[in-house]
Amino acid sequence: MAAKALRAAEHVCVLTGSGVSAESGIPTFREAQTGLWAQFSPQELATPEAFAANPKRVWQWYAARRAMVRAAAPNPAHAALVTLASRVAHCTLITQNVDDLHERAGSRDVVRLHGSLMHVRCSAGCPGAIQPTDEQHGDVPPCPSCGALLRPDVVWFGEPLPMTPFEAARNAAVACDVFLSVGTSNVVEPAASLPWTSATHGATVIVVNPTMDGQRTGPSILPIEGPAGVMLPRLIAEAFAGRRPRRQSESN
């Protein structure tokens, strides 16, 4: 039934969560708090107040996390979503993750709800984002425009989601035929509301997750229990068997 819905869809909206990144070996925020970092609470590492109090500590924590991401590789779930985008007329990929594995797999125009771990921005609000170099892992570098400290380009605890990507995500959730929720528990708001908003607007919601604990149920919600790297390639292969790409794969 899920494969049939995907095959018939003109617009598919995809939301990915930490479960997709975990299958590439990227630890969640709390799982990354090991060794030196185990002594610190999230409030000491990922809040505006933490950065104001000890910017070097926060900067080095995020530099360590960037190194973990650079050592990881996209998994079959990331690749399957690139294939999906080439098979449907319109595909909107939304992620709660802050790594760059979707882009490295070949996805384009990813809607990032929580920002990017791989970029930094001016803490004083200068526009634009910068990709830090490997050498910038010790002291906090200054903004090249104004001299204020650079900070990770992510949404910290206590900060609102940036409205532009969230509005794009919500608009896609309302407009799509199929909403595909992958590797997320769908309990952390406001992203958690997106699949259920989509369902109320008539879309079929497909939930791919190792467990369905906490997920909603209903006639238009189709659960697929299991790891994304196994279940997504299987679902997409079944849905589009015999169908040629509607456009060239983004990875080419």
Considering only residues 127 and 36, tell me which one the structure prediction assigns the higher pLDDT: 127
Instruction: Indicate the pTM of the whole model.
Output: 0.91
Q: CA-based Rg of the chain, rounded to a whole angstrom? A: 19
Q: How much is the pLDDT for 40? A: 79
Q: What is the pLDDT of residue 35?
A: 59
Average pLDDT estimate for 145-166: 94
Residue 135: is its pLDDT beyond 70? no
Tell me, what's the pLDDT at 198?
Answer: 96
Give the pLDDT score at 189.
82
CB burial readout 21-60, b (16+ within 10 A) else e: bbbbebeeeeebbeeeeeebeeebbbbeebbeeebebbbb
DSSP letter at 39 equals: G
Number of Cβ atoms within 10 Å of the Cβ of 221:
19
Q: Are 192 and 24 in contact (CB under 8 A)?
A: no
Told to judge if 114 belongs to the known catalytic residues of this protein, a careful annotator would answer yes
* Per-residue pLDDT, 231: 97
Of 11, 78, 102, 114, which one is the catalytic site residue? 114
Residue 213 pLDDT class (50, 70, 90 cuts)? confident
pLDDT digits (tens, 9 = 90+) for 13-34: 999 999 999 999 998 776 665 6
DSSP state of 127: S
At 39, the pLDDT band (50, 70, 90 cuts) reads confident
pLDDT band at 136 (very low <50, low <70, confident <90, very high): low
pLDDT digits (tens, 9 = 90+) for 219-250: 899 999 999 999 999 999 999 997 777 655 44
Chain mean pLDDT for the chain: 90
* pLDDT tier, 251 (very low <50, low <70, confident <90, very high otherwise): very low
Provide the pLDDT for residue 150: 95
Is the pLDDT assigned to residue 165 strictly greater than 60? yes
Determine the pLDDT at residue 32.
62
